[in-house]
Homo-oligomer: A and B are copies of this chain.
């Protein structure tokens, strides 16, 4: 009747991230193809953005001193489309100007065309309101100043960062190489979809589903995934699969085979090839998780491949991936900030049973801004993760009453 001590999620994550040294491999990619990748260098701007003061509007560039009152009539002496540049603007003059075009010397404001009236076939313009200096001018360097660090090493790139890098002229970016992850499942009961039709499934057999979402989530996180399939439930096959995978991968990820049941062959196999820490985490779902290292050479541990073993229950596998594997593979790419945003939202449900483990309850935001609970929180039920759009991170020993404020994590934040 031994009961292994439970490890807290925070302690497990700390231990895990201490092992997740950033990989040294970097890669140069087109800025077009850098979405989701992690910067391997600081990005410093070689220029001002915008490069010079320019017009924020289609309209007329003027000297504010000429327009202290509404109704000023100015002579239109030049025309500056975007891409062109103007000449000196003298007193009493206006320049027809378009969005993005540089402000001509002498001008200090732009008035939008909707507030102007073109006169005498366009040779003059009547300015409809009083104008103050600086109006509708985008200042040189307003977006980015020359020499400024605009993006830091370790930043995970999203579309906005690609745009910013392009705006300072960068056609290529140095990014961390994709972590190479070998993925497999263990369990003789597992059958691959397509191999056996539903009506022909033998008793005890179940379809493998974990590899489908684990692979998709790894790819969303920038990993290169090798799918090694289902490894038979015996020690020799497992050792052979692990040894082979270690040679060409940074991480071996498995689901199943890490609980304390004696039918699991993953544990002795990893132990034979390196080292293994078996954790019973104080979280629900997702208790058994293992971290280890598989040596690449027979003579020592200097060169080893990471090993992470997730539980076999689909929801446990899904949740432990997001809590532990996600920050781990991001850290392998040099991401320093792997925390996930939590939002305080009202529970629109009761959760009367306190648990001694920290719970991640599958919930969905409703139209009233609150959270509804999926009725079946069993860890085998993957529909909860499909129905829900996130989880409540519920502390140890905490009950929830309708109206209580709880910590919500959106799947979108985790999966982006």
Chain A residues in the interface with B (C-beta under 8 A): 1-4, 31-32, 35, 45-47, 49-52, 56, 58, 81-85, 98-102, 113-117, 128, 138, 142-144, 150-151, 158-172, 187-190, 192-199, 201, 203-217, 219-220, 227, 233, 259-263, 312-314, 318, 341-345, 365, 369, 376, 378-383, 385-386, 389, 410-413, 415-416
Contact = CB atoms under 8 A, between A and B. Distances in A.
A197 B369 CA distance: 49
Contacts of A51: 201, 203-206
A203 B2 CA distance: 76
A206 B49 contact: yes
A244 B84 CA distance: 29
Contacts of A378: 56, 138, 142
Contacts of A261: 58, 98-99, 113
Q: How many copies does the complex hold?
A: 2
Contacts of A83: 187-190, 204-205, 233
A212 B32 contact: yes
Contacts of A383: 143-144, 150, 164
A166 B209 contact: yes
B100 A411 contact: no
Contacts of A128: 1
A162 B213 contact: yes
25 contacts: A31-B212, A32-B227, A35-B216, A35-B220, A51-B201, A51-B204, A81-B233, A98-B261, A142-B380, A159-B216, A160-B386, A162-B213, A163-B213, A163-B318, A164-B386, A166-B193, A169-B196, A169-B198, A169-B201, A171-B192, A341-B365, A343-B345, A343-B369, A410-B412, A416-B416
A19 to B, nearest CB: 25
A217 to B, nearest CB: 5
Contact of A82 (B81, B172, B188): B188
Nearest to A116: B1
A158 B415 contact: yes
Contact of A163 (B49, B365, B382): B382
Contacts of A169: 193-194, 196-198, 201, 207
B172 A194 contact: yes
Given A46-B198, A209-B166, A219 B35 contact: yes
Nearest to A346: B344
A135 to B, nearest CB: 13
Contacts of A172: 194
A191 to B, nearest CB: 8
Contacts of A343: 343, 345, 365, 369
Contact of A416 (B114, B165, B415): B415
Contact of A189 (B100, B205, B217): B100
| Most-contacted residue by chain B among A82, A211, A233 (CB, 10 A) | A82
Nearest to A407: B369
A264 to B, nearest CB: 9
A343 B344 CA distance: 9
Contacts of A193: 31, 165-166, 169-171
Contacts of A213: 159-160, 162-163
A192 B30 CA distance: 12
Contacts of A50: 206, 380
A159 B415 contact: yes
Contacts of A207: 49, 166-169
